Structure 1
Amino acid sequence: MIDIKNLRKHYDEDAVFITAHAAERFRLRNIKAKDIRTAVATGEIIEQYPCDYPYPSCLILGVTKENRYIHVVISDEGSASRIITAYFPDPAKWSNDYKTRKEDI
């Protein structure tokens, strides 16, 4: 299981990477690097993906400095992390607390 303290440590050590593809998606979604960093620094892990390849990852629920909920998917690669994606959760797909997925009807 990924421990959020390790992810925060990776940020402190400047060992968090963002792929060019992910950076482009953030730009299209109007998500800034500080939004992602704030989410990791103050958020909580709401889902774990231990079987993700090539490294385990997790979903973090955080709040931006502008008080918007944000989801961040981040890997734990041992001595570093990689931001896989980030997005503002869709209220139609998530419960009011943005921690639980709504069931498909």
Structure 2
Amino acid sequence: MNDFDIKMIKKLILKGQWLLSEHALDKLLERNLRIVDVLTSILNGEILEDYPDDPRGHSCLILGKKDNKYIHTVCGFQNKSLVIITSYIPELPKWIDERTRGGKYHE
């Protein structure tokens, strides 16, 4: 699986073919995010950025929403499963809003 397709990502979530990296688990706990909120945000989300040259392997950034909270989730693939690499709330200074990178982090 090399190409990211939001429909395929959503299908893997619904089929239970997803994994949570140890890093993602640590960050969810640190950021007070619940996995159900992350999964819900992916299911109503869209691919915001694609990272084909990520040294850790091809990944993408998904923008989704749970209730009135935007959540960013970075995902990749391992074997035939979706891997949730990390999740966070897009905030200043890294993000101006949920779609716009800000400050020195702007690429």
For the aligned pair, the TM-score class normalised by the smaller chain equals 0.7 to 0.9
**Cα 1:54–1:102 shift into 2, 3 Å:** closer
- Over the matched positions of the two proteins, sequence identity in percent amounts to 36
Find the aligned partners of 1:49 and 1:78 in 2 and give their Cα distance: 18
TM-score, L = length of structure 1: 0.85
Where in structure 2 are there 5+ consecutive unaligned residues?
A: none
Find the aligned partners of 1:26 and 1:46 in 2 and give their Cα distance: 20
Find the aligned partners of 2:82 and 2:40 in 1 and give their Cα distance: 15
What is the alpha-carbon root mean square deviation over aligned residues? 1.9
Aligned to 1:100: 100
Aligned to 1:49: 51
TM-score, L = length of structure 2: 0.84
Where has structure 1 moved over 3 Å in runs of 4 or more? Answer: none
Q: Which residue among 38, 45, 65 is the counterpart of 1:36?
A: 38
Count residues with an aligned counterpart: 103
